[in-house]
Structure 1
Amino acid sequence: MAAGSKKVIIAALAGNGLIAITKFIAASITGSSAMLSEGIHSLVDTGNQGLLLYGLKRSSKPADETHPFGYGSELYFWAFVVAILIFAVGSGVSIYEGVQKVLHPHPISDPTIAYGVLALAIVFESVAWWIAYKEFNRRRGDLTIMQAVRRSKDPAVFTVLFEDTAAMLGLIVAGLGIAGAQFFALPWLDGAASILIGLILAATAALLAYETKGLLIGESADPEVISDIRKLVDDVPHVEQVNEMRSMHLGANEVLLALSLDFQDDLTPGTVEQTITALELSIKKQHPHVSRIFIEAQSKEQHEQVITHDAERLEAPQ
Protein backbone atom coordinates (compact mmCIF):
# COMPACT_ATOMS: atom_id res chain seq x y z
CA MET A 1 0.00 0.00 0.00
CA ALA A 2 2.83 2.41 0.85
CA ALA A 3 4.50 1.75 -2.50
CA GLY A 4 1.26 2.61 -4.35
CA SER A 5 0.81 5.78 -2.31
CA LYS A 6 4.39 6.85 -2.97
CA LYS A 7 4.02 6.32 -6.72
CA VAL A 8 0.89 8.47 -6.78
CA ILE A 9 2.53 11.27 -4.79
CA ILE A 10 5.72 11.32 -6.88
CA ALA A 11 3.72 11.46 -10.12
CA ALA A 12 1.70 14.40 -8.79
CA LEU A 13 4.83 16.11 -7.47
CA ALA A 14 6.60 15.95 -10.83
CA GLY A 15 3.53 17.10 -12.76
CA ASN A 16 2.66 20.00 -10.47
CA GLY A 17 6.26 21.20 -10.32
CA LEU A 18 6.45 21.50 -14.12
CA ILE A 19 2.98 23.04 -14.33
CA ALA A 20 3.74 25.66 -11.65
CA ILE A 21 6.79 26.92 -13.56
CA THR A 22 4.90 27.26 -16.85
CA LYS A 23 1.93 28.96 -15.19
CA PHE A 24 4.06 31.58 -13.44
CA ILE A 25 5.87 32.35 -16.69
CA ALA A 26 2.55 32.72 -18.49
CA ALA A 27 1.12 34.88 -15.68
CA SER A 28 4.11 37.23 -15.83
CA ILE A 29 3.70 37.63 -19.60
CA THR A 30 -0.09 37.92 -19.82
CA GLY A 31 -0.89 39.61 -16.50
CA SER A 32 -3.77 37.16 -15.93
CA SER A 33 -4.96 36.88 -12.33
CA ALA A 34 -6.56 33.52 -13.05
CA MET A 35 -3.25 32.23 -14.41
CA LEU A 36 -1.38 33.59 -11.37
CA SER A 37 -3.91 31.86 -9.10
CA GLU A 38 -3.38 28.65 -11.00
CA GLY A 39 0.39 29.05 -10.61
CA ILE A 40 -0.01 29.51 -6.85
CA HIS A 41 -2.38 26.53 -6.81
CA SER A 42 0.20 24.29 -8.53
CA LEU A 43 3.01 25.58 -6.29
CA VAL A 44 0.97 24.80 -3.17
CA ASP A 45 0.14 21.34 -4.55
CA THR A 46 3.85 20.69 -5.21
CA GLY A 47 4.71 21.61 -1.64
CA ASN A 48 1.84 19.51 -0.36
CA GLN A 49 3.09 16.43 -2.17
CA GLY A 50 6.49 17.03 -0.61
CA LEU A 51 4.86 17.08 2.82
CA LEU A 52 2.96 13.86 2.08
CA LEU A 53 6.20 12.16 1.04
CA TYR A 54 7.77 13.36 4.27
CA GLY A 55 4.76 12.03 6.20
CA LEU A 56 5.08 8.64 4.51
CA LYS A 57 8.76 8.45 5.42
CA ARG A 58 8.14 9.47 9.04
CA SER A 59 5.22 7.06 9.43
CA SER A 60 7.47 4.11 8.53
CA LYS A 61 9.80 4.71 11.49
CA PRO A 62 9.87 1.77 13.92
CA ALA A 63 8.51 2.10 17.44
CA ASP A 64 10.84 3.33 20.17
CA GLU A 65 10.70 4.21 23.87
CA THR A 66 9.12 7.61 23.32
CA HIS A 67 6.60 6.31 20.74
CA PRO A 68 5.90 2.69 21.72
CA PHE A 69 3.13 2.34 19.15
CA GLY A 70 5.21 3.71 16.29
CA TYR A 71 4.93 6.80 14.10
CA GLY A 72 2.07 5.74 11.80
CA SER A 73 -0.04 8.80 12.70
CA GLU A 74 2.62 11.12 11.26
CA LEU A 75 0.99 10.65 7.85
CA TYR A 76 -2.36 11.76 9.26
CA PHE A 77 -0.79 14.87 10.78
CA TRP A 78 0.93 15.96 7.57
CA ALA A 79 -2.19 15.27 5.53
CA PHE A 80 -4.07 17.62 7.87
CA VAL A 81 -1.33 20.24 7.41
CA VAL A 82 -1.81 19.88 3.64
CA ALA A 83 -5.52 20.67 4.02
CA ILE A 84 -4.68 23.79 6.05
CA LEU A 85 -2.14 24.97 3.45
CA ILE A 86 -4.60 24.50 0.60
CA PHE A 87 -7.10 26.67 2.45
CA ALA A 88 -4.76 29.32 3.86
CA VAL A 89 -2.35 29.75 0.95
CA GLY A 90 -4.00 28.37 -2.17
CA SER A 91 -7.54 29.56 -1.52
CA GLY A 92 -6.66 32.75 0.35
CA VAL A 93 -4.19 34.09 -2.21
CA SER A 94 -6.42 33.14 -5.16
CA ILE A 95 -9.42 34.95 -3.72
CA TYR A 96 -7.29 37.98 -2.82
CA GLU A 97 -5.82 38.19 -6.32
CA GLY A 98 -9.27 37.79 -7.85
CA VAL A 99 -10.77 40.56 -5.76
CA GLN A 100 -7.91 42.89 -6.71
CA LYS A 101 -8.44 42.14 -10.40
CA VAL A 102 -12.20 42.71 -10.12
CA LEU A 103 -11.65 46.05 -8.34
CA HIS A 104 -8.82 47.11 -10.66
CA PRO A 105 -9.35 45.28 -13.97
CA HIS A 106 -6.76 45.38 -16.74
CA PRO A 107 -6.73 43.52 -20.06
CA ILE A 108 -4.74 40.33 -20.63
CA SER A 109 -1.80 41.16 -22.92
CA ASP A 110 -1.39 37.85 -24.78
CA PRO A 111 -4.13 35.29 -24.07
CA THR A 112 -2.72 32.88 -26.69
CA ILE A 113 0.16 32.07 -24.33
CA ALA A 114 -2.30 31.49 -21.51
CA TYR A 115 -4.34 29.06 -23.61
CA GLY A 116 -1.20 27.13 -24.56
CA VAL A 117 -0.08 26.84 -20.95
CA LEU A 118 -3.55 25.76 -19.82
CA ALA A 119 -3.64 23.07 -22.49
CA LEU A 120 -0.21 21.81 -21.45
CA ALA A 121 -1.24 21.90 -17.79
CA ILE A 122 -4.38 19.88 -18.52
CA VAL A 123 -2.22 17.18 -20.14
CA PHE A 124 0.13 17.00 -17.11
CA GLU A 125 -2.73 17.09 -14.61
CA SER A 126 -4.67 14.44 -16.50
CA VAL A 127 -1.74 12.02 -16.28
CA ALA A 128 -1.26 12.64 -12.54
CA TRP A 129 -5.02 12.43 -11.91
CA TRP A 130 -5.31 9.16 -13.82
CA ILE A 131 -2.47 7.55 -11.83
CA ALA A 132 -4.10 8.64 -8.55
CA TYR A 133 -7.54 7.52 -9.69
CA LYS A 134 -6.34 4.06 -10.78
CA GLU A 135 -4.70 3.47 -7.39
CA PHE A 136 -7.76 4.77 -5.55
CA ASN A 137 -10.11 2.73 -7.73
CA ARG A 138 -8.06 -0.41 -7.13
CA ARG A 139 -8.55 -0.04 -3.39
CA ARG A 140 -12.18 1.01 -3.22
CA GLY A 141 -13.65 -2.16 -4.75
CA ASP A 142 -17.46 -1.96 -4.93
CA LEU A 143 -17.74 1.13 -2.72
CA THR A 144 -18.74 4.53 -4.04
CA ILE A 145 -16.03 7.18 -4.13
CA MET A 146 -17.26 8.94 -0.98
CA GLN A 147 -17.76 5.64 0.86
CA ALA A 148 -14.20 4.67 -0.05
CA VAL A 149 -12.87 8.03 1.17
CA ARG A 150 -14.70 7.70 4.49
CA ARG A 151 -13.41 4.17 5.01
CA SER A 152 -9.89 4.80 3.75
CA LYS A 153 -7.16 4.87 6.40
CA ASP A 154 -4.49 6.04 3.93
CA PRO A 155 -5.03 9.76 3.25
CA ALA A 156 -2.14 10.03 0.78
CA VAL A 157 -4.02 8.69 -2.25
CA PHE A 158 -7.36 10.45 -1.76
CA THR A 159 -5.59 13.72 -0.89
CA VAL A 160 -3.70 13.66 -4.19
CA LEU A 161 -6.87 12.63 -6.05
CA PHE A 162 -8.85 15.52 -4.56
CA GLU A 163 -6.02 17.98 -5.23
CA ASP A 164 -5.75 16.89 -8.86
CA THR A 165 -9.52 17.03 -9.30
CA ALA A 166 -9.55 20.57 -7.91
CA ALA A 167 -6.65 21.41 -10.24
CA MET A 168 -8.54 20.15 -13.28
CA LEU A 169 -11.60 22.19 -12.32
CA GLY A 170 -9.37 25.21 -11.71
CA LEU A 171 -7.84 24.92 -15.18
CA ILE A 172 -11.28 24.84 -16.77
CA VAL A 173 -12.40 27.86 -14.76
CA ALA A 174 -9.19 29.76 -15.62
CA GLY A 175 -9.68 29.04 -19.31
CA LEU A 176 -13.28 30.21 -19.23
CA GLY A 177 -12.31 33.35 -17.31
CA ILE A 178 -9.55 34.28 -19.74
CA ALA A 179 -11.79 33.54 -22.75
CA GLY A 180 -14.61 35.61 -21.27
CA ALA A 181 -12.27 38.52 -20.57
CA GLN A 182 -10.96 38.36 -24.15
CA PHE A 183 -14.13 37.85 -26.19
CA PHE A 184 -16.49 40.02 -24.14
CA ALA A 185 -13.86 42.67 -23.36
CA LEU A 186 -14.62 42.32 -19.65
CA PRO A 187 -11.25 42.09 -17.84
CA TRP A 188 -12.95 41.60 -14.48
CA LEU A 189 -14.05 38.10 -15.58
CA ASP A 190 -10.41 37.03 -15.22
CA GLY A 191 -10.57 38.13 -11.59
CA ALA A 192 -13.92 36.42 -11.09
CA ALA A 193 -12.33 33.19 -12.34
CA SER A 194 -9.56 33.60 -9.78
CA ILE A 195 -12.13 34.00 -6.99
CA LEU A 196 -13.97 30.87 -8.17
CA ILE A 197 -10.68 28.94 -8.20
CA GLY A 198 -10.14 30.06 -4.60
CA LEU A 199 -13.60 28.82 -3.63
CA ILE A 200 -12.91 25.43 -5.27
CA LEU A 201 -9.71 25.16 -3.25
CA ALA A 202 -11.52 26.15 -0.05
CA ALA A 203 -14.13 23.42 -0.58
CA THR A 204 -11.40 20.87 -1.30
CA ALA A 205 -9.47 21.91 1.81
CA ALA A 206 -12.59 21.66 3.99
CA LEU A 207 -13.35 18.13 2.75
CA LEU A 208 -9.75 16.98 3.26
CA ALA A 209 -9.58 18.54 6.72
CA TYR A 210 -12.80 16.80 7.75
CA GLU A 211 -11.62 13.38 6.55
CA THR A 212 -8.08 13.61 7.95
CA LYS A 213 -9.33 14.97 11.29
CA GLY A 214 -11.20 11.73 11.87
CA LEU A 215 -8.03 9.73 11.19
CA LEU A 216 -5.93 12.02 13.36
CA ILE A 217 -8.08 11.67 16.47
CA GLY A 218 -8.45 7.91 15.96
CA GLU A 219 -10.77 5.79 13.83
CA SER A 220 -11.72 2.16 14.34
CA ALA A 221 -10.75 -0.61 11.95
CA ASP A 222 -12.96 -1.36 8.96
CA PRO A 223 -16.34 -2.88 9.99
CA GLU A 224 -15.62 -5.96 7.88
CA VAL A 225 -12.35 -6.51 9.75
CA ILE A 226 -14.11 -6.16 13.11
CA SER A 227 -16.82 -8.60 12.02
CA ASP A 228 -14.22 -11.11 10.87
CA ILE A 229 -12.28 -10.85 14.14
CA ARG A 230 -15.49 -11.38 16.11
CA LYS A 231 -16.12 -14.57 14.14
CA LEU A 232 -12.61 -15.78 14.95
CA VAL A 233 -13.23 -15.15 18.65
CA ASP A 234 -16.62 -16.87 18.52
CA ASP A 235 -14.94 -19.98 17.13
CA VAL A 236 -12.61 -20.26 20.14
CA PRO A 237 -14.05 -23.10 22.28
CA HIS A 238 -12.92 -21.78 25.69
CA VAL A 239 -14.44 -18.28 25.30
CA GLU A 240 -17.93 -17.75 26.76
CA GLN A 241 -18.45 -14.32 25.22
CA VAL A 242 -16.83 -11.10 24.04
CA ASN A 243 -17.33 -8.42 26.69
CA GLU A 244 -15.87 -5.63 24.59
CA MET A 245 -13.87 -5.09 21.42
CA ARG A 246 -12.16 -1.83 20.59
CA SER A 247 -9.85 -0.95 17.71
CA MET A 248 -8.01 2.10 16.47
CA HIS A 249 -5.85 2.82 13.45
CA LEU A 250 -2.38 3.90 14.54
CA GLY A 251 -1.45 4.44 10.89
CA ALA A 252 -2.51 3.46 7.39
CA ASN A 253 -1.40 -0.15 7.90
CA GLU A 254 -1.38 -0.48 11.69
CA VAL A 255 -4.32 -1.33 13.91
CA LEU A 256 -4.46 -1.50 17.69
CA LEU A 257 -6.97 -4.09 18.96
CA ALA A 258 -8.15 -4.50 22.57
CA LEU A 259 -10.37 -7.41 23.59
CA SER A 260 -12.10 -8.20 26.88
CA LEU A 261 -13.07 -11.88 26.90
CA ASP A 262 -15.06 -13.96 29.35
CA PHE A 263 -13.37 -17.38 29.55
CA GLN A 264 -14.85 -20.56 30.99
CA ASP A 265 -14.40 -20.69 34.76
CA ASP A 266 -12.90 -24.20 34.95
CA LEU A 267 -9.85 -23.42 32.78
CA THR A 268 -6.33 -23.54 34.16
CA PRO A 269 -4.13 -20.42 33.83
CA GLY A 270 -1.98 -22.32 31.34
CA THR A 271 -4.98 -23.09 29.12
CA VAL A 272 -6.08 -19.45 29.17
CA GLU A 273 -2.57 -18.35 28.16
CA GLN A 274 -2.44 -20.89 25.32
CA THR A 275 -5.89 -19.83 24.10
CA ILE A 276 -4.93 -16.16 24.09
CA THR A 277 -1.71 -16.87 22.18
CA ALA A 278 -3.49 -19.04 19.60
CA LEU A 279 -6.20 -16.39 19.11
CA GLU A 280 -3.65 -13.59 18.70
CA LEU A 281 -1.70 -15.57 16.09
CA SER A 282 -4.92 -16.42 14.25
CA ILE A 283 -5.98 -12.76 14.09
CA LYS A 284 -2.55 -11.60 12.89
CA LYS A 285 -2.43 -14.34 10.26
CA GLN A 286 -5.71 -13.24 8.70
CA HIS A 287 -5.18 -9.52 9.28
CA PRO A 288 -1.45 -8.70 9.27
CA HIS A 289 -2.14 -4.98 9.70
CA VAL A 290 -3.57 -5.68 13.18
CA SER A 291 -0.11 -5.21 14.67
CA ARG A 292 -0.91 -4.62 18.34
CA ILE A 293 -3.33 -6.92 20.22
CA PHE A 294 -4.18 -6.77 23.92
CA ILE A 295 -6.50 -9.46 25.30
CA GLU A 296 -7.97 -9.16 28.79
CA ALA A 297 -9.45 -12.17 30.62
CA GLN A 298 -12.44 -10.91 32.58
CA SER A 299 -15.88 -12.22 33.53
CA LYS A 300 -18.97 -10.44 32.25
CA GLU A 301 -19.84 -9.23 35.76
CA GLN A 302 -16.33 -7.90 36.43
CA HIS A 303 -16.30 -6.10 33.09
CA GLU A 304 -19.66 -4.44 33.79
CA GLN A 305 -18.37 -3.40 37.22
CA VAL A 306 -15.39 -1.64 35.64
CA ILE A 307 -17.62 0.03 33.00
CA THR A 308 -19.95 1.31 35.74
CA HIS A 309 -16.98 2.65 37.71
CA ASP A 310 -15.65 4.50 34.66
CA ALA A 311 -19.06 5.99 33.89
CA GLU A 312 -19.46 7.25 37.46
CA ARG A 313 -15.98 8.76 37.40
CA LEU A 314 -16.77 10.69 34.21
CA GLU A 315 -20.09 11.93 35.58
CA ALA A 316 -18.56 13.08 38.89
CA PRO A 317 -17.94 16.85 39.16
CA GLN A 318 -14.33 17.79 38.51
Structure 2
Amino acid sequence: MSHPSYPPSPQNDAGAGVPQVPAAPSAFGGQFQGGGPAGYQPGPDSGPYGAQGAGGPLKSFMTTWILSLLLGGLGVDRFYLGKIGTGIAKLLTAGGFGIWSIVDLIITLTGNARDKQGRPLAGYPENKKKAWIITIVVWFAGVIIGIVSTVLSLTLVAAAVQEGRNTPVVPLPSASQGPLLPSEGTANDANSFTVNVDDSTTVKVGVVDSLYTNEIPSMTYMKPANGGFLVLEISWETLTGTSFAASTNFEAYDADGNEGDLLFLEDGLGGLPTGTVAIGEVKQGVIAFDIKNGPTTIVVNDDYGDEAATFTLTPPAGQ
Protein backbone atom coordinates (compact mmCIF):
# COMPACT_ATOMS: atom_id res chain seq x y z
CA MET A 1 0.00 0.00 0.00
CA SER A 2 1.28 3.36 -0.77
CA HIS A 3 1.15 6.34 1.76
CA PRO A 4 0.71 9.94 0.84
CA SER A 5 3.72 12.09 1.40
CA TYR A 6 3.44 15.21 3.53
CA PRO A 7 5.66 18.23 3.51
CA PRO A 8 8.15 18.35 6.41
CA SER A 9 7.12 20.28 9.56
CA PRO A 10 8.75 23.68 10.02
CA GLN A 11 11.64 23.74 12.50
CA ASN A 12 12.26 26.42 15.18
CA ASP A 13 15.63 27.41 16.58
CA ALA A 14 15.46 24.74 19.25
CA GLY A 15 14.68 22.10 16.73
CA ALA A 16 11.18 21.49 18.13
CA GLY A 17 8.38 20.90 15.78
CA VAL A 18 5.90 23.27 17.66
CA PRO A 19 5.81 26.87 16.47
CA GLN A 20 6.43 29.65 19.13
CA VAL A 21 3.42 31.46 20.61
CA PRO A 22 3.74 35.21 20.26
CA ALA A 23 3.82 37.18 23.53
CA ALA A 24 0.63 38.98 24.57
CA PRO A 25 0.75 42.73 24.14
CA SER A 26 1.26 44.75 27.35
CA ALA A 27 -1.61 46.88 28.61
CA PHE A 28 0.93 49.65 29.32
CA GLY A 29 2.24 49.82 25.76
CA GLY A 30 5.17 47.43 26.07
CA GLN A 31 6.02 43.78 26.57
CA PHE A 32 5.90 42.61 30.20
CA GLN A 33 9.38 41.52 31.26
CA GLY A 34 8.80 40.86 34.96
CA GLY A 35 8.71 43.57 37.65
CA GLY A 36 6.33 46.48 37.37
CA PRO A 37 4.62 47.50 34.17
CA ALA A 38 6.35 50.03 32.00
CA GLY A 39 5.91 53.66 33.12
CA TYR A 40 4.93 52.89 36.82
CA GLN A 41 6.17 55.28 39.52
CA PRO A 42 5.35 55.29 43.31
CA GLY A 43 2.58 57.70 44.29
CA PRO A 44 3.26 60.79 46.46
CA ASP A 45 1.61 59.24 49.52
CA SER A 46 3.29 55.86 49.39
CA GLY A 47 6.16 56.78 51.73
CA PRO A 48 5.92 57.25 55.55
CA TYR A 49 6.30 61.07 55.28
CA GLY A 50 4.38 61.73 52.02
CA ALA A 51 2.98 65.16 51.42
CA GLN A 52 -0.62 64.04 51.24
CA GLY A 53 -2.74 61.16 52.51
CA ALA A 54 -6.18 59.81 51.94
CA GLY A 55 -7.75 62.34 54.34
CA GLY A 56 -6.23 65.49 52.83
CA PRO A 57 -2.89 67.22 53.41
CA LEU A 58 -0.75 65.91 56.27
CA LYS A 59 -0.29 67.99 59.39
CA SER A 60 2.98 69.90 59.63
CA PHE A 61 5.69 68.63 61.96
CA MET A 62 7.07 72.15 62.47
CA THR A 63 3.68 73.56 63.48
CA THR A 64 2.99 70.65 65.83
CA TRP A 65 6.43 70.97 67.41
CA ILE A 66 6.15 74.75 67.98
CA LEU A 67 2.68 74.41 69.49
CA SER A 68 3.83 71.57 71.71
CA LEU A 69 6.89 73.50 72.85
CA LEU A 70 5.16 76.82 73.56
CA LEU A 71 1.51 75.95 74.22
CA GLY A 72 1.62 72.28 75.12
CA GLY A 73 0.21 72.97 78.57
CA LEU A 74 -2.96 74.27 76.93
CA GLY A 75 -3.36 71.27 74.65
CA VAL A 76 -3.10 73.42 71.50
CA ASP A 77 -0.86 70.86 69.77
CA ARG A 78 -3.51 68.16 70.16
CA PHE A 79 -6.25 70.49 68.94
CA TYR A 80 -4.12 71.12 65.83
CA LEU A 81 -3.79 67.38 65.19
CA GLY A 82 -7.58 67.01 65.40
CA LYS A 83 -7.53 65.24 68.77
CA ILE A 84 -10.15 67.45 70.40
CA GLY A 85 -11.04 65.18 73.31
CA THR A 86 -7.50 64.68 74.60
CA GLY A 87 -6.79 68.34 73.84
CA ILE A 88 -9.55 69.39 76.24
CA ALA A 89 -8.31 66.92 78.86
CA LYS A 90 -4.80 68.29 78.49
CA LEU A 91 -6.08 71.86 78.83
CA LEU A 92 -8.09 71.15 81.97
CA THR A 93 -5.15 69.41 83.67
CA ALA A 94 -2.60 72.09 82.68
CA GLY A 95 -0.80 69.65 80.44
CA GLY A 96 -1.19 66.76 82.84
CA PHE A 97 0.56 68.89 85.49
CA GLY A 98 3.38 69.40 83.01
CA ILE A 99 4.19 65.71 82.55
CA TRP A 100 1.82 65.17 79.62
CA SER A 101 3.24 68.23 77.86
CA ILE A 102 6.79 66.91 78.12
CA VAL A 103 5.78 63.44 76.91
CA ASP A 104 3.92 64.87 73.88
CA LEU A 105 6.88 67.08 73.01
CA ILE A 106 9.28 64.11 73.09
CA ILE A 107 6.87 62.04 70.99
CA THR A 108 6.78 64.85 68.41
CA LEU A 109 10.57 65.27 68.38
CA THR A 110 11.12 61.55 67.86
CA GLY A 111 8.79 61.49 64.84
CA ASN A 112 6.16 59.31 66.50
CA ALA A 113 3.37 61.88 66.56
CA ARG A 114 0.33 61.12 64.43
CA ASP A 115 -2.75 63.07 63.46
CA LYS A 116 -6.32 61.96 64.13
CA GLN A 117 -6.23 59.56 61.13
CA GLY A 118 -3.00 57.98 62.38
CA ARG A 119 -0.88 59.55 59.62
CA PRO A 120 2.70 60.78 60.23
CA LEU A 121 3.55 64.46 60.15
CA ALA A 122 4.93 66.12 57.04
CA GLY A 123 8.41 67.61 57.13
CA TYR A 124 9.91 65.60 59.98
CA PRO A 125 13.10 64.21 58.37
CA GLU A 126 14.37 67.57 57.15
CA ASN A 127 13.46 69.53 60.31
CA LYS A 128 14.05 67.13 63.20
CA LYS A 129 17.66 68.21 63.86
CA LYS A 130 16.76 71.89 64.00
CA ALA A 131 13.79 71.17 66.29
CA TRP A 132 15.93 69.16 68.71
CA ILE A 133 18.60 71.89 68.92
CA ILE A 134 16.11 74.68 69.54
CA THR A 135 14.22 72.62 72.13
CA ILE A 136 17.39 71.86 74.09
CA VAL A 137 18.41 75.53 74.02
CA VAL A 138 14.96 76.62 75.23
CA TRP A 139 14.96 74.04 78.01
CA PHE A 140 18.45 75.00 79.13
CA ALA A 141 17.57 78.70 79.13
CA GLY A 142 14.42 77.95 81.14
CA VAL A 143 16.44 76.07 83.75
CA ILE A 144 18.96 78.92 84.06
CA ILE A 145 16.20 81.54 84.36
CA GLY A 146 14.40 79.43 86.94
CA ILE A 147 17.54 79.06 89.06
CA VAL A 148 18.35 82.77 88.86
CA SER A 149 14.76 83.75 89.72
CA THR A 150 14.73 81.40 92.71
CA VAL A 151 18.04 82.73 94.01
CA LEU A 152 16.91 86.34 93.61
CA SER A 153 13.60 85.63 95.35
CA LEU A 154 15.31 83.94 98.28
CA THR A 155 17.80 86.79 98.51
CA LEU A 156 15.06 89.42 98.57
CA VAL A 157 13.07 87.50 101.18
CA ALA A 158 16.16 87.07 103.37
CA ALA A 159 16.99 90.76 103.02
CA ALA A 160 13.45 91.76 103.95
CA VAL A 161 13.49 89.50 107.02
CA GLN A 162 16.89 90.81 108.07
CA GLU A 163 15.77 94.39 107.56
CA GLY A 164 12.71 93.75 109.68
CA ARG A 165 14.87 92.38 112.47
CA ASN A 166 17.33 95.27 112.34
CA THR A 167 14.85 98.11 111.85
CA PRO A 168 15.08 100.32 114.91
CA VAL A 169 12.18 102.28 116.31
CA VAL A 170 11.86 105.27 114.00
CA PRO A 171 12.16 108.44 116.05
CA LEU A 172 9.67 111.10 115.06
CA PRO A 173 11.19 114.47 114.16
CA SER A 174 11.19 116.93 117.01
CA ALA A 175 9.32 120.23 116.67
CA SER A 176 8.43 121.65 120.02
CA GLN A 177 5.05 123.39 120.24
CA GLY A 178 5.89 125.38 123.35
CA PRO A 179 4.46 124.95 126.86
CA LEU A 180 1.09 123.27 127.35
CA LEU A 181 -1.81 125.28 128.73
CA PRO A 182 -4.01 122.83 130.65
CA SER A 183 -7.51 124.12 131.24
CA GLU A 184 -8.27 121.55 133.97
CA GLY A 185 -6.16 119.52 136.32
CA THR A 186 -3.10 120.53 138.24
CA ALA A 187 0.00 121.23 136.18
CA ASN A 188 3.14 120.07 137.89
CA ASP A 189 5.29 121.85 135.37
CA ALA A 190 4.87 123.59 132.02
CA ASN A 191 4.16 120.40 130.09
CA SER A 192 2.41 118.05 132.55
CA PHE A 193 -0.58 117.97 134.85
CA THR A 194 -2.44 115.66 137.18
CA VAL A 195 -5.64 113.90 136.18
CA ASN A 196 -8.08 111.95 138.38
CA VAL A 197 -9.16 108.95 136.31
CA ASP A 198 -11.36 107.53 139.10
CA ASP A 199 -12.07 108.13 142.77
CA SER A 200 -8.85 106.43 143.93
CA THR A 201 -6.54 106.74 140.95
CA THR A 202 -4.48 109.72 139.91
CA VAL A 203 -2.12 109.94 136.97
CA LYS A 204 0.39 112.46 135.81
CA VAL A 205 0.09 113.16 132.06
CA GLY A 206 2.93 114.90 130.28
CA VAL A 207 3.71 115.83 126.72
CA VAL A 208 7.38 115.25 125.99
CA ASP A 209 7.22 116.61 122.46
CA SER A 210 4.79 117.30 119.65
CA LEU A 211 4.84 117.63 115.88
CA TYR A 212 2.47 118.56 113.07
CA THR A 213 3.41 116.77 109.85
CA ASN A 214 2.01 115.68 106.50
CA GLU A 215 3.53 112.20 106.68
CA ILE A 216 4.24 109.62 109.36
CA PRO A 217 7.42 107.52 108.98
CA SER A 218 6.76 103.93 107.80
CA MET A 219 3.11 104.84 107.15
CA THR A 220 3.57 106.94 104.03
CA TYR A 221 0.61 105.17 102.40
CA MET A 222 -1.68 107.10 104.76
CA LYS A 223 -2.78 110.45 103.43
CA PRO A 224 -4.29 113.02 105.82
CA ALA A 225 -7.98 113.73 105.30
CA ASN A 226 -7.95 116.91 107.39
CA GLY A 227 -4.72 118.55 106.27
CA GLY A 228 -2.08 116.81 108.38
CA PHE A 229 -1.18 114.72 111.42
CA LEU A 230 -0.68 115.97 114.95
CA VAL A 231 1.81 113.68 116.70
CA LEU A 232 2.27 113.75 120.48
CA GLU A 233 4.82 111.94 122.60
CA ILE A 234 3.00 111.23 125.85
CA SER A 235 4.18 110.11 129.28
CA TRP A 236 1.68 108.39 131.59
CA GLU A 237 2.65 107.99 135.27
CA THR A 238 0.44 106.49 137.97
CA LEU A 239 0.61 108.54 141.16
CA THR A 240 -2.07 106.72 143.20
CA GLY A 241 -3.93 103.46 142.66
CA THR A 242 -3.62 101.48 139.45
CA SER A 243 -4.41 103.08 136.10
CA PHE A 244 -4.91 101.85 132.56
CA ALA A 245 -2.98 103.60 129.78
CA ALA A 246 -4.11 103.60 126.15
CA SER A 247 -4.12 105.95 123.19
CA THR A 248 -7.94 105.81 123.30
CA ASN A 249 -7.79 107.81 126.55
CA PHE A 250 -7.17 110.89 124.39
CA GLU A 251 -9.27 112.93 121.96
CA ALA A 252 -8.36 115.96 119.87
CA TYR A 253 -10.52 118.84 118.56
CA ASP A 254 -9.53 121.61 116.16
CA ALA A 255 -10.38 125.31 116.55
CA ASP A 256 -13.78 124.71 114.89
CA GLY A 257 -14.68 121.95 117.35
CA ASN A 258 -14.22 119.13 114.81
CA GLU A 259 -12.86 115.94 116.32
CA GLY A 260 -9.66 114.59 114.81
CA ASP A 261 -9.28 110.95 113.83
CA LEU A 262 -7.14 108.91 116.21
CA LEU A 263 -4.54 106.86 114.34
CA PHE A 264 -3.41 103.40 115.35
CA LEU A 265 0.32 103.40 114.73
CA GLU A 266 2.18 100.40 113.35
CA ASP A 267 4.64 98.46 115.46
CA GLY A 268 8.04 100.07 115.52
CA LEU A 269 6.72 103.64 115.67
CA GLY A 270 6.77 103.79 119.45
CA GLY A 271 3.04 103.99 120.07
CA LEU A 272 1.84 104.52 123.64
CA PRO A 273 1.83 101.03 125.25
CA THR A 274 -1.62 99.78 126.19
CA GLY A 275 -2.03 98.15 129.58
CA THR A 276 -2.16 98.47 133.34
CA VAL A 277 0.22 100.93 135.00
CA ALA A 278 1.02 100.31 138.66
CA ILE A 279 1.70 103.05 141.15
CA GLY A 280 5.03 104.76 140.47
CA GLU A 281 5.28 103.17 137.00
CA VAL A 282 5.66 105.32 133.89
CA LYS A 283 4.73 104.43 130.32
CA GLN A 284 5.73 106.61 127.43
CA GLY A 285 4.83 106.53 123.74
CA VAL A 286 3.34 108.29 120.74
CA ILE A 287 -0.26 109.09 119.83
CA ALA A 288 -1.36 110.77 116.57
CA PHE A 289 -4.46 112.46 115.15
CA ASP A 290 -5.53 113.33 111.62
CA ILE A 291 -6.64 116.92 112.28
CA LYS A 292 -6.52 120.43 110.84
CA ASN A 293 -3.52 122.52 111.76
CA GLY A 294 -4.06 125.26 114.29
CA PRO A 295 -4.94 125.57 117.98
CA THR A 296 -5.89 122.07 119.12
CA THR A 297 -7.69 120.99 122.28
CA ILE A 298 -6.55 117.65 123.72
CA VAL A 299 -9.03 115.87 125.99
CA VAL A 300 -7.98 113.25 128.55
CA ASN A 301 -10.81 110.89 129.51
CA ASP A 302 -11.24 109.04 132.79
CA ASP A 303 -11.95 105.33 133.16
CA TYR A 304 -15.62 105.94 132.44
CA GLY A 305 -14.98 107.70 129.13
CA ASP A 306 -15.84 111.12 130.53
CA GLU A 307 -13.69 114.20 130.17
CA ALA A 308 -11.21 114.44 133.03
CA ALA A 309 -8.88 117.17 131.78
CA THR A 310 -8.07 119.23 128.72
CA PHE A 311 -5.17 121.25 127.41
CA THR A 312 -4.56 123.32 124.32
CA LEU A 313 -1.68 123.17 121.85
CA THR A 314 -0.89 126.11 119.59
CA PRO A 315 1.46 125.24 116.71
CA PRO A 316 4.24 127.71 116.01
CA ALA A 317 3.80 130.23 113.21
CA GLY A 318 4.36 128.71 109.79
CA GLN A 319 3.33 125.24 110.86
Smaller-chain TM-score range? under 0.3
| TM score, norm. by length of structure 1 | 0.24
Give the structure with the larger helix fraction: 1
Q: TM-score, normalised by structure 2?
A: 0.24
As a proportion of its length, which structure holds more strand?
2
Higher-RCO chain (CA-CA 8 Å, sequence separation at least 6): 1
